[in-house]
Structure 1
Amino acid sequence: MSFIAHIRASDGQKQTVEEHLLEVKRLAEISGEKFGAKHLAGLAGLLHDFGKCTHQFKEYILEAFNNPEAPPKRGSVDHSTAGGKLLYELYHNRTDNPYLIILAEIVGNVIISHHSYLQDFLAPTLESPYLRRVRDKELDDFHRAQQYFFEYVMNRNDFDVYVSEAAMELENFLQETPPENHAEQLMFLTKFIFSALIDADRTDARLFEENTLYNSKNNGLLFKTYYERLMGKLNSFKNESLASHPINILRSEMSEQCERFAIKPSGIYTLSIPTGGGKTLASLRYALKHSLEYSKDRIVFVVPFTTIIEQNAAEARKVLQDEMNILEHHSNVIDDGVDDEAQDGIVNMRQKWKLAKDTWDAPIIFTTMVQFLNAFYAKGSRNIRRLHNLSNSVIIFDEVQKVPVKCVSLFNQALNYLKYSTDSSIVLCTATQPALDFVEHKLKIGSDAEMIDQLNEVIEAFKRVEIIDKATNGPINNEQLVDFIGQLMGGIQSILVILNTKSVVKDLYQKLIAQGTDYEIFHLSTSMCAAHRNDIFKKIRDCLGNNQKIICISTQLIEAGVDVSFDSVIRSLAGLDSIAQAAGRCNRHGEKEIGTVYVIDHEQERLDRLEEIKKGKEVAKKILVDLKRHPSVYGGHLLSREAMERYFQEYYTDMETNLNYFIPKLEKEMIELLTSHRRGNSSLAKAYQSKHGSLPPLYLINSYYSAAEHFEVIDDMTTAVLVPYKEGEELIAALNSYAGSFEDVTKFLRKAQQYSINLYKHEFEYLAQDGGLVSFLDGQIFALTEGAYHGEFGFNLENDSEFGFQYF
């Protein structure tokens, strides 16, 4: 008798448990092999739905299919515990082989968690959700399911051999790791195995639903084509009229150095090209060359702001002449919460949308720091599903200095693991390298990691602006700033003003408009969707190109990676890295001999909830005071390497208590929750021993679920919503009658990223009560009404915008 894993909604075709387990095993092996865990991942795949080998589950799935309007309660038949329980019973008491004990814990946890998230081995409450499932829970028909599995899926001898191979992988892994790092490394290994299983399981479910076969991808030929197209573009620059300009000569030299560096083995490297030095194409050149040299699977660009993604991805598509294989992933249009894929074995429309989400299997990916950190640490199986695709990749961190302070230690540990255990190559790309090797949990980076030779000379050669300190003269307000801007505009054509908060940006813009000038005045903030901002950027570039008088008032979204060049920049005091990025929007291409960047202290900005900006401002002001008193310190320049190194060391020292992601509710640092084991100096182990008189009966006591439940890269959780701007209106209208294919869903989601914004919780709740939101797909997707989006300012909390938009 065959048991059923899935039933296809379209034609009622049944997939047997044997078919599903063996195929998920095969797919998980493909992923696991890339990070040295082929059999560990395969074992998870082989046993993950072992609990479906019961008559109880068969009756459940048939009832769910035959009565879709009144199905049995979802999850009422537990099929995910059995595989973990089998490993626990067979191997957890094997005192002759400790690797089998650890294997049973790691793979068993992965299996029991594959419809939620990794369970706590030991929770902060000193209970063990893991043991509650695999040791204490009684399962009907467990032994008959075990008998069926060994008779029809894999015989016992072959199974024991396979488990031995998996245990050998684990032994090799730990022997290559210093003992003091075992807990940390096992944490990451567990997450990568979990990721491989989740992706294999969901992929097989999708392929069965689509009635198609799995096609493996080899991006080698594609990367070769990309490299040739990129080199063709770079060579074409040599024939342009400005090729002999000093700035362009320097850019070409930087690019060539990246090419030569690409032959070095995979590792963690820095690319410290000064702002405006062409690091996007230079880093892409390195990545493509290195991928060809070392057969990498994909190239991932990780950036702090969506505006950088939008510009850099567009540039990559244009240069590489490919619209299909370059993925932007920066906004979740569908809720990322509970992943209920195929708990009942039937894929419905709601689940289709979840299955169609991007999994980072594209050859080139542009994503955000938030998404990168979420893949490692956030709850929900969809986030971690992407993680294994970071193996054997080139990962470029653009503007790496923007790593959130509370995530610095977690970020460093993730990169160290990627380097040493997944054969990935890491590039930290910024003009202002943060001191990530200065903190307690250091980034393990070598002394010869910099790609650019004679960096001090390069920085001096790239100097295009003069920094003028007005901040130490005292604070100013928007009324005074309007007067100052007016004075400056008498002698120049363009000014960019960057302030720290959206409210003062909007207020300054409105004051300048009310003053009545013949200048073009633009407003930019993250209240606008990407498509809206891109329309404004186009207008700004047109005005700059035509040498029109122009003023742009913006939040910091414009200061990193946006290719615009103003005669002068006014920057509200913030961290030195922010000032350096703002300076990169002034005289960017060396159009003038020297540009001017004014640093001011804005008295109307409220930074109490923006601790990192506030602290950066305080440290930067100290360095400005030092320079005012002693003009020769730090090489006599605010943005010198010496000043930047001093800035980050003092900044991280001041923020030291914040670096390890402290969780107030649990009164613990996240690193302790993730890297505890019973033999370590863990407060959890000590507390358990004090309460029970003995150490926990486990090797690992990590609190995976508790850590993930409290992890947020951004303190205020946000929800992505579609906005009725241009094509966004069409997308919202299409949701009312959607009934398309997986391919259509994927295209929709990718397009929707350009027409969505993120709302904070209080904003979302206010609009929901005020009628400013509509929901689709059973509350999976939300959209703003017309009144809640303004054609000039974007999101409008008051929900009273006039009908129609001032489309550009």
Structure 2
Amino acid sequence: MDFIAHIRNSDKQVQSVDEHLDNVAQISSQFGKKLNLSHLAAIAGLLHDMGKYSNEFKEYIIEVVDNPENPPKRGSVDHSTAGGKWLYEKFYKEDQSPTKRIIVEMLVNIILSHHSGLRDFLTPNASSDVLRRVIDKQLDNYAEVQEFFEESTKRLEEIEGKLDVAEKELIKLLKENNTIHPLKALTFLTMILFSCLIDADRLDTMSFEDNVKLNLHQNNNELFEQYYKKLIQHIEVLQKNGQVNRINALRSEMSSQCEEHAYKPSGIYTLSIPTGGGKTLASLRYALKHAIKYKKDRIIYVVPFTTIIEQNAQEVREILEDDINILEHHSNIIQDDRITHNKEQPDNYVKNKSVTLAKDNWDSPIIFTTMVQYLNTFYSSGTRNIRRLHNLSNAVIIFDEVQALPIHCVSLFNESLNFLKYIANSSILLCTATQPALDKVKHNIQTIDGEIVQDLDEVNQNFKRVEIKDKTTPNGWDTETLASFVRDTLNRENNVLVILNTKTVVRDLYQTLKEKDTDAYVFHLSTSMCAKHRQETLGAVRKALEQGEKVICLSTQLIEAGVDISFNSVIRSLAGLDSIAQAAGRCNRHGDYDCKNVYIINHREEVLNKLKAIKVGAEITQKILKDIGSEKLLSSEVMAFYFEEYFTKMNLELDYHIPDLSDSLYNLITTNAKYKIHYENYHNKKFPLNLATSYDTVGKYFNVIDDHSTSVLVPYGAGKELIADLNEDLSIKQMSTLFKQLQPYLINVYQHELDGLSKDNNLIPLFNGKVLVLRENAYDQFFGLMVEGEGQMDTSFI
């Protein structure tokens, strides 16, 4: 009997289970080859849909297609447990080697979880989701599946043979990379193999549904060669046309040093170019040359804020003359599989198939994304984010403004880098003018292989373009007093940038200045605005500055990290010393004047109770100002002292501690020793598995930003028409392209804001809530998101 894996919507053609399993095994194996684990990855592909070898599933999928308006509940026939259950029963024996037992544990979890996200080997309540599924769960169709599969002698011999080779592969990998503790290595290997399977499964299903042939033999070396030539031509033009001064000479020298360093082996390197030193082009020069020499698959830029994505991506697109192969990934348009905002209406898989399968897997040659998305790829729940993980292997990964890494994610971030360096063969650049000494914390980057910039102290001295002025007062500043100081500064300097710590005080200052009839352009920037809105606003700011207009720009810290803009003066609300240094990088950026002033104020109306990292950083900076003054505030010695103090005070935060669990996410994702002891005390026996990682529990609690946020599309500018296109009958390929085009029209909405929008009916759920769209009245031309629904849209001012 021919068993069915999929039925195509357009012409009702059938893909057999045999064909799907073979395809997925082949694709997954190709992905796993980058880690030298191709056989292990292939087994996952061969077994993941073993549960579809049954009449029950065949009847279910035919009913889904024949009755699209009222299909049976999705997942009502469990097809993901059978493969894991069979593998466990067949090969998890006492007489098997420890390595083979570990392989079975990894594969069982990967197979069981391919529609949900990795399960807990060990849960907080002293049980195992994995063992419960393979031992306790009863499957009505399991005997039929088991019988059919074991009658296929060829398939059985294929899996047995691959298991033997997989064992040798894993032993060799762990021996060659013994810098990482084996349990940590296995934790991350399970994750990346899961990623190989998820992406392979989705790609084959997409290929069948769209009736197109997959091209997975992508070699970007030739493309990188073309890019490199264009970049060098661009740099030569800049040098020819630029002013002959010390700043440009240093930029040129540091750019050359990046190229020289590209010949060194893959590793973790720091690139401490001062603000305004040409970091984007210098790091791209390193990345392209290193990718060409060591045949890396892609280049990935990871930045702290979406503000930098659009700026840097656009700059790189123009230099490389390529709009197709450079991806901006701001956030996930599609909500995670577990989340629905329209629970009354069941998910119509047939109608929503193009949304579910749309390609979102970071397979582009050059990718710009955020730290949030990078960390979610490792640690968030579900399958959508982790699908991308395998594409982080054999890559050049550039972390721009790495000092902005959230404090509670430090240990998890460091472990991800250790894995990418030692196991996944990636090369990593940590770029910032204010290196946060991530090799000095308890759970550290094990080895930083060197700093690219030579004579760093001399370079920093030559790049000095500002004086720091301490304007903090015992009682702090209020909005009215600050507004007066802004106007006075404007009269002296003609333009001023004001950076405050919260969106509320930025908005209050904006309204106060507008009410005073200030004879200047007043601009507002915050993360409540979508990327396209911020990009256009920054464009308007730059244009006004170039024309010599009077300009006031008010912003949260998003403007600090990497935004290429220069003001004659900056006012910065008290914050961490790294933030002060980054704010200073927006003042006299190109050295047009000998020195300009950066003023530090303390705003008493800022509420920082929920912003502990900013609050602690501000307290340390204030202490330094009191002890030594502001003259040497930005020196490398003071910066090193600041980070030592900061990490000491925030020590309990570094591992992402969860009070509800009485443990940290770092422990749960690595050795999980505390839960093992709890299990053994509770059951009075040893935990029966070698692996104990609590993947699902980590995913439930993990948020890069403390308050959970959800991505929402906004009808700003051209985004309105693109959102309308979502209602068209699109193929998976067309939907994938549309999702890329919609990236700049996303905002991240916190849960309390989401609740307010839902209550007032200001959210439109599409595709059963998988995609959320903001109503026009909830978005404002100046402020962005308006939860109260009082927004006004008129972009003609830009």
SS in 2 for 1:435: coil
Deviations 1:229-276 (A, max 9, x none): 101100111220x34122111111110000000000000000000000
Q: Tell me how far 1:759 sits from its aligned partner.
A: 1.6
Aligned match of 1:713: 704
Is the contact made by 2:470 and 2:625 (CA closer than 8 Å) also made in structure 1? yes
Measure the CA separation in 1 of the matches of 2:177 and 2:386.
23
Matches of 1:126 and 1:302, distance apart in 2: 37
Aligned to 1:745: 735
Counterpart residue identity of residue 658, structure 2: I
State how far apart, in whole Å, the 1-side matches of 2:563 and 2:188 are. Answer: 35
CA distance in 2 between counterparts of 1:354 and 1:466 reads 53
**Aligned equivalents of 1:346 and 1:468: distance in 2?**
61
> 2:668 aligns to what?
673
Alpha-carbon distance in structure 1 between the residues aligned to 2:507 and 2:718: 25
Give secondary structure in 2 for the equivalent of 1:327: strand
1:29-84 per-residue CA deviation (whole Å, 9 max, x = no partner) reads: 11101112111111101111111111221122222222223322322221111111
Report the more deviating stretch, 589-598 or 67-76. Answer: 67-76
Q: What secondary structure, in the 3-state scheme, does the structure 1 residue paired with 2:240 have? A: coil
1:31·1:38 contact (CA, 8 Å) conserved in 2? yes
Q: Which residue of 1 aligns with 2:343?
A: none
- Structure 2 matches for 1:464-503, cutoff 5 A? 464-471=465-472, 475-503=476-504
Q: Which residue of 1 aligns with 2:381?
A: 379
Whether the 8 Å contact between 2:31 and 2:38 is mirrored in structure 1 is yes
- How does 1:581-592 map onto structure 2 within 5 Å? 581-592=582-593
Higher mean C-alpha deviation, range 599-608 or range 687-696: 687-696
Q: Secondary structure of 1:395's partner?
A: strand
Match of 2:187, SS state, is helix
Cα RMSD (Å) of the superposition?
Answer: 2.0
1:236 is matched with: 237
Q: Distance in 1 between matches of 2:238 and 2:253?
A: 13
Residue 781 of structure 1 is matched in structure 2 by 771
Query: Equivalents in 1 of 2:625, 2:146: separation in Å?
Result: 71
Stretch moving more, 725-734 or 514-523: 725-734
Q: CA deviation at 1:167?
A: 1.2
* d(CA) in 2 for partners of 1:474, 1:456: 36
Aligned pairs, how many? 792
Q: Which moved more, 1:370-379 or 1:747-756?
A: 747-756
Q: Distance in 2 between matches of 1:139 and 1:774?
A: 39
Aligned mates of 1:575, 1:730 — CA distance in 2: 41
Which of 774-783 and 289-298 deviates more?
A: 774-783
The one-letter code sitting in structure 2 at the alignment partner of 1:170 is L
Q: Describe how 1:622-771 pairs up with structure 2 within 5 A.
A: 622-628=623-629, 637-676=632-671, 682-735=673-726, 737-771=727-761
Offset at 1:180?
7.8
Per-residue deviation, 1:471 = 2.1
Deviations 1:421-445 (CA, angstroms, capped at 9, x unpaired): 0100010000000021121101112
Correspondence 1:275-290 to 2 at 5 A: 275-290=275-290
C-alpha distance after superposition, 1:719-749 (max 9, x if no partner): 22222322222234334x4212223212322
Quick check: 1:61–1:345 contact (8 Å CA) kept in 2? no
Q: CA deviation at 1:369?
A: 0.4
Q: Which residue does the alignment assign to 1:595?
A: 596
After superposition, the C-alpha distances for 1:331-389 in whole angstroms (9 at most, x for unaligned) are 2222123399xxx9996332311221421000000000000000000001011000000
Q: Which residue does 1:573 correspond to in 2?
A: 574
Change in CA separation of 1:593 and 1:515 when aligned onto 2, cut-off 3 Å: same
Q: CA deviation at 1:392?
A: 0.1
Deviations 1:2-41 (A, max 9, x none): 2111111111111111111111000001110111211111
Give the secondary-structure state (helix, strand or coil) at the position aligned to 1:471.
Answer: coil
Corresponding letter in the other structure for 1:433:
Q
Give a deviation string over 1:688-734, Cα, whole Å, max 9, x none. 22222210221112211111111111121112222232222223433
Asked whether the 8 Å contact 1:36–1:422 carries over to 2, the reply is no
State the Cα deviation string for residues 95-146 of structure 1 (Å, max 9, x = none).
Answer: 3411111111001110011010111111111111111111233334535434
- Map residues 285-296 of structure 1 onto 2, 5 A cutoff: 285-296=285-296
Say if 1:472 and 1:625, in contact at 8 Å, map to a contact too.
no
Q: Counterparts of 1:380 and 1:708 in 2: how far apart (Å)?
A: 8
TM-score, normalisation: structure 1: 0.95
2:454 is paired with a residue whose SS is: coil
Query: Does 2:306 correspond to 1:311?
Result: no
Question: Aligned-pair distance for 1:765?
Answer: 1.3
- Which region of structure 1 is more displaced relative to structure 2, 740-749 or 562-571? 740-749
**For the residues of structure 1 that align with 2:250 and 2:59, how far apart are their CA atoms?**
70
CA–CA separation in structure 2 for the residues paired with 1:58 and 1:485: 70
CA distance in 1, matches of 2:758, 2:339: 24
> Is the alpha carbon distance of 1:28 and 1:732 closer, same or farther for their aligned partners in structure 2, counting shifts above 3 Å?
closer
Report what 1:101 is aligned to: 101
Alpha-carbon distance change, 432 to 128 in structure 1, aligned in 2, over 3 angstroms: same
2:184 aligns with 184
Correspondence 1:251 to 2:251: yes
Residues 115 and 339 in structure 1, CA contact (< 8 A), matched pair in contact too? no
1:431 to 433, 454, 458: 433
Q: Structure 2: any 5+ residue segments left out of the alignment?
A: 341-345
Counterparts of 1:698 and 1:412 in 2: how far apart (Å)?
A: 26
Out of 778, 785, 795, the residue aligned to residue 795 of structure 1 is: 785
- The alignment status of 1:2 with 2:2, answered yes or no, reads yes
Q: Which residue of 2 aligns with 1:414?
A: 416
- In structure 2, do the counterparts of structure 1 residues 184 and 214 end up closer, same or farther at CA, with 3 Å as the change threshold? same
Instruction: Output the CA distance in 1 between the equivalents of 2:636 and 2:423.
Output: 32
Residues 616-673 of structure 1: per-residue CA shift (max 9 Å, x gap): 1011111111213xx8xxxx51111111111111101100011101122212111222
The answer to whether the aligner puts 1:266 opposite 2:261 as a matched pair is no
The two structures have a TM-score, normalised by structure 2, of 0.96
Gaps of 5+ in 1: none
Rounded to whole Å, the distance in 2 between the matches of 1:687 and 1:533 is 50
CA distance in structure 2 between the aligned counterparts of 1:621 and 1:445, rounded to whole angstroms = 32
Deviations along 1:136-169, whole A, 9 cap, x unmatched? 3333453543443355583433332111001111
> Residues 398 and 264 (structure 1 numbering): CA distance in 2 closer, same or farther, change over 3 Å?
same
Moved more, 268-277 or 694-703: 694-703
Q: Is the 8 A contact 1:792 1:806 kept in 2?
A: no
Measure the CA separation in 1 of the matches of 2:339 and 2:25.
21
**One-letter amino acid of the counterpart of residue 274, structure 2:** P
Match of 1:561 in 2: 562
Shift of 1:783: 2.2
Contact residue 21 and residue 47 of structure 1 kept, 8 A: yes
Q: Is the 8 A contact 2:781 2:793 kept in 1?
A: no
Q: CA–CA distance in 1 between the matches of 2:602 and 2:595?
A: 23
Could you tell me which amino acid in structure 1 is paired with residue 439 of structure 2?
A: D
Question: Residue type matched to 1:497 in 2?
Answer: V
User: How many Å apart are 1:797 and its aligned residue?
Assistant: 2.1
CA contact (8 A) 1:18 1:153 kept: no
